[in-house]
Chains A and B, each alone.
Chain A
Amino acid sequence: MGLLRFLAERRSELLLLTGQHILLVLVSAGLAMALGVPLGIALARRPRLARPVLALANLAQTIPSLALFGFLIPVPFIGGIGVRTAIVALVLYSLLPILRNTVTGIQQVDAAVLEAATGMGMTPRQRLRLVELPLALPVILAGIRVAVVVSVGTATIAAAIGAGGLGTYVFRGLATVDTRLILAGAIPAALLALIADALLGAVQKSSRPGRAAVLLAVGAAAAVLAALLARSPAGARPVVVGSKNFTEQVVLGEILGARLEALGFAVDRRLNLGGTSLCHAAVREGQIDVYVEYSGTALADILKRPVSPDPAAVLRTVGEGYAPLGLRVGPPLGFNNSYALVMRRGDTQARGTRRISDLARHAATLRVGLFGEFLERADGMTGLVRTYALRFGVPPREMDLGLLYQALADGKVDLVVGNATDGLIAAMDLVVLEDDRHYFPPYDAVPVMNEGSLRRHPGLLEAVESLGGRIDEKAMRRMNYAVDGEHRGPADVAREFLAGAGLLSR
C-alpha cells in the first residue's frame, strides 16, 4: 500500500516528530497536573473562588489556538516561537479538565466520611492525603485522561509555531494538498491518543489507582528527562528561518535555509508558521531571524497603508515603514506573486491577447472562471473590469482554485484568475497576460530580517542579499508544481533549484 511505503520511507523523520509530539504532551500534561491538582484542591475549599477561576479556565479553552499563539509570542519568558510557547498553550488547554475534576472530586467526598476522619484525629493534611485525595482520585484521573487525550490532538497545532510534533506533517500536507502527508501526521497522532487513553484507562480501572498513577508518572518523567538529556547541547545560536504555511513559502524557507547552510551558517527551520501576522510577530520579536514576505501584503496587511500599483514605490514605503519596527527589508527575490489572468497558449495566439488590455475586444465571447475571494476583494473583479473596460458576455463562474486550471485546460472556460506563481501555469503550458495598466498591486517576494539578528550574525545580510533577483516567476511556478503536482519534498526542490543556479557553493 502506498501510504505504508510512504511512512516507511520517512521512518526516521516520523520517529523524531512522534518523539517531539510525545514530549510536548508529557511535559504540558505534567505541568498542567502540577498546577491543576493543587489549585483544584485549594479551590475545593473555597467554593466562592472556584466558580470565577473555573470560568477563567473555561475561557482559556475557548481561545482559538492560533489566536492564543499570536497573543503569546510577544509575552516575555513564556512566549515566543517554539516549544515553550506550545507548552504554555497546551497547559492552558489541559488545565480546565484537571482543575474541574479535582474540585468536583474533592467536593463530592462524603461529608460523613470526612467527619469520621476528623473525629479520629486526622490533621487537615492527613485528611487530604489519606481520605480526600484517594477518594477523589478516580475523578481526578478521569480529568487527567481527558486532558492528555485532548492534548495529543491539540499538540498538532504546535507545528504552527515551529514546535515540531506530528502537526508538522499535517500542516505541510494541508499546505501542499498532499493527503498522504496529512495522514502521515494524523494517523500516528490518533494512535498516540488511543494508546494514552488505554494506558490512563487502565490506571483508572486498576485495583490500586494511586500506585498505578505514580508508576505511570515516574515513567513519564523518566522519558522526559531522557529526551531532554539526549538533546544535543546548544552551541552557537543558529539562524532561525521562518515561513508561512503554504507551499511557496515552505519552498522559499528551504531555499533560504539551504543557501545559508551553503555559506556556513547553522540553520534552524521554523517553517509552516500559521500565517502572516504570526510570522511578522515572530520576526519582530527576533524569534525568527528571517522569512519571505510579499510587498503588497506588508504594505496593506501589516502597515495598513493604501496599496499603490508602483512596485518600486511599494518597496520603498515598506522599507521605510519597517525600519522603525527594527526590521530590514532585503532585495526582491525576483518574482511577483500577484493575481494573474491566465489563458491557454493557443487561445492567446489565435486571439492575439498578450496583454489584459487586449481582452476588451474579446470580452463578450470569453467565459471566465475565478475563485470566490476575487469577487470580494478591493483589488478584485470590480476594479479590474473598470480599469480595462471589460464587458464580459457571461457572468464569471466561481470554483475552487485547484479546479480552475483543469477547467481552463479542458476548454470549459477561456480565462481564469489565479496567482502568478501557481504551479499549474507551468505544468499546463498556460500563459499569464501582462497587467499593462498596472491594476494589480505588486506582491514582490522580499526577505524580511530582524536588525538584531543581523548584528548577531555577521554576514547574514550579505547571504540573504545573494538571493536577490535570482528567482523569477517561472522558476517559482516550477518549484510550486514540483511540490504540489509531483509531490516532491520542498527541501529537495529547493536544493535542486540552488544547485542549478550555482548557489549551493560560496
Chain B
Amino acid sequence: MTAAVELADVSKRYPGGAVALDGLSLSVDEGRVLVLLGTSGSGKTTALKTLNRLVEPDAGSVVVLGRRLESWDPIELRRRTGYVIQEAGLLPHLTVERNVGLVPELLGWPPERRRARSRELLALMGLDPARFAPLRPAQLSGGERQRVGIARALAADPPLLLMDEPFGALDPLTRRRLQDEFRALQSRLGKTVLLVTHDVPEAFRLGDEVAVMDRGRVLQRGTPAQLRESPRPGFVADFIAAALP
C-alpha cells in the first residue's frame, strides 16, 4: 500500500501566537479512512486544511497524492480534492444541481456532462434529481444539504476526500443514517478519506483507523478496536471513556 497523504513533523503557529500543529506526523494509505479525533483547538482542522493548502504550514514536509505540497498549484490541488465542511458550505444563490456540478464547472466540463454528473451523484446520495436539482440550499433540510455537500465533493471523482465535521450539525437520527450511508458509499468507491470529528462514536463507526489529537500532535493512533480496548492512559483514555458508556 502507498500513502496517499503523508505529514512529517509539521508545525503551524497562528499569527496570534496559538500553536495549532506541534510537529505532527501521520500518513494515510490509499483507499483508507483515517479519522482525526480531538477536542476543539486540538489542531485537527488545521491538519486537514494543510492538505488542500487552505493553511500553509510553518515547518515540516507534506506529501499529497504523491507530490510535495509546495509543488502543487493550490487551485489544481483543491480541484483534485473533495472538501466537505459542516453545514456543507453550499453556495446559497445557486441551485442544487449547479452546486454539485461546481468543481466540474471550474474544470471546464461541457454543460451536458456536468448536468448528467450532478444528477448521477444526487441519485447516488439518495436525492431524487428531478425534485432536488432545481432547488436552492435554503429549501433543503440539514440532512439533505449535507448529502448535497458530499455529492459536490465527489463530483469530479477526486481520489482524496477531506471532511471537516461533515455530520456535525445534524440531529442524531439523521446523523446516524448519513454515517451508515457514508460507510456503504465508501465501501463501493474506495476513496482515501481524512475525516475530522470530535465525536468518539462517529470516529469509531467511520474510521478504518483513528488518530486521537491534542495540542497539535497525535497522541495515539490505531483501529477503533485497538483504541477501545487499550487506550493510552491519560488524555486518550479519559476522552474515550467520557464519550462511551
- A86-129 vs B, CB cutoff 8 Å, 1 = contact: the mask equals 00000000000000000000000000110111111111001000
Determine whether the beta carbon of B91 is less than 8 Å from that of A121.
Answer: no
- B84-97 vs A, CB cutoff 8 Å, 1 = contact: the mask equals 01011111110000
B167 interface residue per 8 A CB criterion: no
B52 interface residue per 8 A CB criterion: yes
Determine whether the beta carbon of A121 is less than 8 Å from that of B103.
Answer: yes
Determine whether the beta carbon of A120 is less than 8 Å from that of B54.
Answer: no
CB distance from B210 to the nearest CB of A (A): 23
Determine whether the beta carbon of B90 is less than 8 Å from that of A119.
Answer: no
CB distance from A209 to the nearest CB of B (A): 9
**What chain B residues lie within 8 Å of A119 (beta carbons)?**
52, 54, 78, 81, 83, 85, 89, 162
Determine whether the beta carbon of A120 is less than 8 Å from that of B79.
Answer: yes
**What chain B residues lie within 8 Å of A113 (beta carbons)?**
89-92
- B61-84 vs A, CB cutoff 8 Å, 1 = contact: the mask equals 000000000000001111111010
User: Whose C-beta in chain B lies nearest to the C-beta of A131?
Assistant: B91
A82 interface residue per 8 A CB criterion: no
Interface size range on A against B: 10 to 19
B203 interface residue per 8 A CB criterion: no
CB distance from A120 to the nearest CB of B (A): 5
Determine whether the beta carbon of A116 is less than 8 Å from that of B90.
Answer: yes
Contact of B92 among A115, A122, A123, A135 (CB under 8 A): A135
Contact of B85 among A112, A122, A131 (CB under 8 A): A112
Determine whether the beta carbon of B76 is less than 8 Å from that of A115.
Answer: no
CB distance from A204 to the nearest CB of B (A): 14
Interface size range on B against A: 20 to 34
B151 interface residue per 8 A CB criterion: no
In whole angstroms, how far apart are the Cα atoms of A131 and B77 in the complex? 20
Determine whether the beta carbon of B91 is less than 8 Å from that of A126.
Answer: no
Determine whether the beta carbon of B83 is less than 8 Å from that of A122.
Answer: no
Instruction: Please indicate which of the listed interface residues B52, B102, B152 has the most CB atoms of chain A within 10 Å of its own CB.
Output: B102
Determine whether the beta carbon of B91 is less than 8 Å from that of A130.
Answer: yes
- B133-153 vs A, CB cutoff 8 Å, 1 = contact: the mask equals 000000000000000000010
CB distance from B50 to the nearest CB of A (A): 12
A319 interface residue per 8 A CB criterion: no
CB distance from B104 to the nearest CB of A (A): 11
B106 interface residue per 8 A CB criterion: yes
**What chain A residues lie within 8 Å of B85 (beta carbons)?**
112, 115-116, 119
A396 interface residue per 8 A CB criterion: no
User: Whose C-beta in chain B lies nearest to the C-beta of A137?
Assistant: B93
Contacts A121-B78, A121-B103, A122-B106; is A116 near B83 (CB within 8 Å)? yes
Determine whether the beta carbon of B91 is less than 8 Å from that of A115.
Answer: no
Contacts A115-B54, A134-B93, A135-B93; is A120 near B87 (CB within 8 Å)? no
User: Whose C-beta in chain B lies nearest to the C-beta of A133?
Assistant: B93
User: Whose C-beta in chain B lies nearest to the C-beta of A112?
Assistant: B89
In whole angstroms, how far apart are the Cα atoms of A342 and B147 in the complex? 91
User: Whose C-beta in chain A lies nearest to the C-beta of B93?
Assistant: A134
In whole angstroms, how far apart are the Cα atoms of A426 and B83 in the complex? 88
Determine whether the beta carbon of B92 is less than 8 Å from that of A120.
Answer: no
In whole angstroms, how far apart are the Cα atoms of A112 and B91 in the complex? 10
In whole angstroms, how far apart are the Cα atoms of A126 and B106 in the complex? 8
In whole angstroms, how far apart are the Cα atoms of A126 and B93 in the complex? 15
**What chain B residues lie within 8 Å of A130 (beta carbons)?**
91, 102
User: Whose C-beta in chain B lies nearest to the C-beta of A134?
Assistant: B93
- Which residues in chain A, 133-173, are within 8 Å of chain B measured between CB atoms? 134-135
**What chain A residues lie within 8 Å of B162 (beta carbons)?**
119
User: Whose C-beta in chain A lies nearest to the C-beta of B164?
Assistant: A119
**What chain B residues lie within 8 Å of A116 (beta carbons)?**
83, 85, 88-91
**What chain A residues lie within 8 Å of B88 (beta carbons)?**
116
Determine whether the beta carbon of A120 is less than 8 Å from that of B93.
Answer: no
- Which residues in chain B, 90-122, are within 8 Å of chain A measured between CB atoms? 90-93, 102-103, 106
CB distance from A445 to the nearest CB of B (A): 65
**What chain B residues lie within 8 Å of A123 (beta carbons)?**
75
**What chain B residues lie within 8 Å of A135 (beta carbons)?**
91-93
In whole angstroms, how far apart are the Cα atoms of A134 and B52 in the complex? 25
Contacts A112-B85, A112-B87, A126-B106; is A118 near B78 (CB within 8 Å)? yes
User: Whose C-beta in chain B lies nearest to the C-beta of A122?
Assistant: B106
CB distance from A342 to the nearest CB of B (A): 72
User: Whose C-beta in chain B lies nearest to the C-beta of A117?
Assistant: B91
**What chain A residues lie within 8 Å of B152 (beta carbons)?**
120
Determine whether the beta carbon of A120 is less than 8 Å from that of B90.
Answer: no
In whole angstroms, how far apart are the Cα atoms of A134 and B88 in the complex? 19
In whole angstroms, how far apart are the Cα atoms of A147 and B196 in the complex? 47
CB distance from A266 to the nearest CB of B (A): 55
**What chain A residues lie within 8 Å of B79 (beta carbons)?**
120-121
**What chain A residues lie within 8 Å of B102 (beta carbons)?**
120, 130
Instruction: Please indicate which of the listed interface residues B78, B81, B93, B162 has the most CB atoms of chain A within 10 Å of its own CB.
Output: B93
Instruction: Please indicate which of the listed interface residues A112, A120, A126, A134 has the most CB atoms of chain B within 10 Å of its own CB.
Output: A120
Contact of B83 among A120, A126, A131, A134 (CB under 8 A): A120
User: Whose C-beta in chain A lies nearest to the C-beta of B78?
Assistant: A121
User: Whose C-beta in chain B lies nearest to the C-beta of A126?
Assistant: B106
In whole angstroms, how far apart are the Cα atoms of A122 and B102 in the complex? 9
**What chain A residues lie within 8 Å of B81 (beta carbons)?**
119, 121
**What chain A residues lie within 8 Å of B91 (beta carbons)?**
113, 116-117, 130-131, 135
- Which residues in chain A, 303-355, are within 8 Å of chain B measured between CB atoms? none
In whole angstroms, how far apart are the Cα atoms of A113 and B138 in the complex? 13
**What chain A residues lie within 8 Å of B54 (beta carbons)?**
115, 118-119
**What chain A residues lie within 8 Å of B106 (beta carbons)?**
120-122, 126
In whole angstroms, how far apart are the Cα atoms of A112 and B164 in the complex? 12
CB distance from B136 to the nearest CB of A (A): 10
**What chain B residues lie within 8 Å of A131 (beta carbons)?**
91
In whole angstroms, how far apart are the Cα atoms of A126 and B76 in the complex? 14
User: Whose C-beta in chain A lies nearest to the C-beta of B52?
Assistant: A119
**What chain A residues lie within 8 Å of B93 (beta carbons)?**
134-135
**What chain A residues lie within 8 Å of B103 (beta carbons)?**
120-121
Chain A interface residues toward B at CB < 8 A: 112-113, 115-123, 126, 130-131, 134-135
Other A-B pairs, 14, CB within 8 Å; known A116-B90, A119-B52, A121-B81: A112-B85, A112-B87, A113-B90, A113-B91, A115-B85, A116-B83, A116-B88, A117-B91, A120-B83, A121-B80, A122-B75, A126-B106, A134-B93, A135-B92
Chain B interface residues toward A at CB < 8 A: 52, 54, 75-81, 83, 85, 87-93, 102-103, 106, 152, 162
The 9 closest A-B pairs by CB, nearest first: A116-B89, A121-B78, A121-B79, A119-B83, A134-B93, A121-B75, A120-B103, A112-B89, A123-B75
Can you offer 6 A-B residue contacts whose CB atoms are under 8 A? A112-B89, A116-B89, A120-B78, A120-B152, A122-B106, A135-B92
